[in-house]
Amino acid sequence: MNSIFITIAMCLLTVFFLFASSIKILGWQKFIFETQLKMFIKYGLNRTLMALIGMVELFGAITLWLPAYFSILGALALFGTSVGAIFFHLKFDTWKDGIPAMITLALSGLVLFAKYSAIIT
């Protein structure tokens, strides 16, 4: 049961971050891209940083499925981007804007704990 829940969490994280990173990197969904870019600019960040964050998200979404330490790096990448998103949403927006990042933080933290626990035992 535990591994099924971790697998579901990994699937959710992968789908979410593949979608989010593809928009940040490629800008293929115009409305979401422009909305996110406006938020990044409001946060004092630029398009280059937005693309770099998209690359970190893509890295995390892919490496989450690799063996051992690579999956831990993937979970850490997603955990870190979620922490950053929460910080900026709480500083510049309302806490409600940070709810998706809070969910991805919880899921990536759970996966990180499970992956790390599997390696050290």
Each residue's pLDDT, cut to its tens digit, for the chain (121 residues) gives: 479 999 999 999 999 999 999 999 999 999 999 999 999 999 999 999 999 999 999 999 999 999 989 999 999 999 999 999 999 999 999 999 999 999 999 999 999 999 999 888 7
The span from the first CA to the last CA of the chain, in angstroms, equals: 19
What residues does each domain of the chain span?
A: 2-120
Nearest to 115 by CA among 19, 40, 6: 6
Q: What is the pLDDT at residue 89?
A: 96
Cα distances from 104 to residues 34, 48, 57, 88, in angstroms, run 22, 23, 11, 15
Helix, strand or coil, per DSSP, at residue 27: coil
The Cα 44–Cα 82 span in angstroms is 18
